[in-house]
Structure 1
């Protein structure tokens, strides 16, 4: 329990909650911790929407798998992130997506029926959950906008401009530090890593940006805006 509480304190669901309050919450809820190997399915579309997960260790992919076998990574979840939050209180009986372990993972599961009772009596928990849902919707909205763009250059430009406007702590900075690897970035935009690297090199040759690993320095924001408007 002592190792579990610091991890849960980082979870947005328990924002503004003390360790003692989280410990009391867990004592009232019939929680369960499961371990998953890399590549193992954590949640699948054949499972009922009867539990909420919290990633304690590792990273997971939330995937949309189409009938033709094509797969899109909708979101990546890391330690302290929720999984299944978008479906647990919906009208859906089954989860709409597949959640796969990206590495060795540990996930804490909370039953839907007991969460409902807790939310009705714990206003802070309920508000925290609603904030998480709102943020998840914004992320998905941005994801849909990115996927709707045809060219890779437009996708890169849209991502960098969105980062500067909404995620960068210093609005005047020209430095973008990617929150994930280039491989994950390519998956986020639904393009191959090779195609992404090639387009970044083209944009570097055009003097729009320079990059090294996860660090991108934008040299011409105006040109990015122009690319996006074409």
Structure 2
């Protein structure tokens, strides 16, 4: 069961369960269980293991200067946690990691990861692709958080969903989830969305958004 789960993770993609079992035979690993709300790691804790979610999901959060919690992302099974921070001079968790529900996590020691790099080219390539993707995601998230207004964040988000030339999109999250993602209250998020509709930028029908004035959305990014 374990090797079947691991073989579905992006870092082990292309390695069969049987190969996984042979690959990990001399490796140091363990499985830990967490309950909803448990902290798996605090920001700036040292990252010493490759962690892969086997069951459930976790969320990465950070605090802004006012102490408000901003959710960076949810990580579902079978994806790795903070794989880009296992190496480097400051190999520390960039965010707090909390269990969203009942969670099981696979821990593989850093030394074992290095040994697997030497043993298996597929794992090495997958891992490099994984940390490159994470770096790109975090860069985009940082740019997103730099927008000072909720409307600016919304404009950026809607433009990305509509790229390259769509005018009708569906929000993948509820307003409550979107507000948490933006690091604002739900009423503030809903008010900004409504104002953008009143200003003729968008048309809203529940989660369905029709973009009416793309150029004005772009101008919001420059404010």
Alignment counterpart, residue 25 of structure 2, candidates 24, 27, 30: 27
Contact (CA 8 Å) 1:13, 1:128: kept in 2 or not? Answer: yes
Q: How many residues align?
A: 223
| Matched-pair contact (CA < 8 Å) for 1:143–1:188 | no
Aligned match of 1:163? 161
Alignment deviations for residues 5-51 of structure 1 (CA, whole Å, 9 cap, x no partner): 44334321122222322333343423222111111001124743211
Report matched runs for 1:196-207 at 5 Å: 196-207=189-200
Measured in 2, the distance between the counterparts of 1:111 and 1:6 equals: 20
- Match for 1:15 among 13, 16, 41? 13
Say which of 198, 220, 223 aligns to 1:227. 220
The equivalent of 1:131 in structure 2 is 129
Q: Which runs of 5+ in 2 are unaligned?
A: none
Q: Aligned with 2:46: secondary structure?
A: coil
Q: Distance in 1 between matches of 2:13 and 2:73?
A: 22
Instruction: Name whichever of 31-40 and 88-97 sits farther off.
Output: 88-97
Alignment of 1:78-97 (within 5 A): 78-92=76-90, 94-97=92-95
39-48 or 129-138: which moved more? 39-48
* C-alpha distance in 1 between matches for 2:208 and 2:16: 36
1:18/1:93 Cα in 2 relative to 1: closer, same or farther (>3 Å)?
Answer: closer
Query: Comparing 137-146 with 12-21, which one deviates more in the overlay?
Result: 12-21
- For 1:194 and 1:87, the matched residues in 2 are separated by 35
Q: Give, in angstroms, the shift of residue 92 of structure 1.
A: 2.4
Partner of 2:145: 147
Q: Which of 188, 199, 202 is equivalent to 1:195?
A: 188
Structure 1 vs Structure 2 CA RMSD: 2.5
Q: For 1:26 and 1:214, how far apart are their aligned partners in 2? A: 45
Distance 2:120 2:21 in 1: 14
Mapping of residues 39-58 of structure 1, within 5 Å: 39-45=37-43, 47-58=45-56
**SS of residue paired to 2:25:** helix
Range 104-113 or range 11-20, more displaced: 11-20
3-state SS in 2 of match to 1:27: coil
TM-score, with length taken from structure 2: 0.86
What is the Cα deviation at residue 93 of structure 1? 5.5
Residue 168 of structure 2: aligned partner: 175
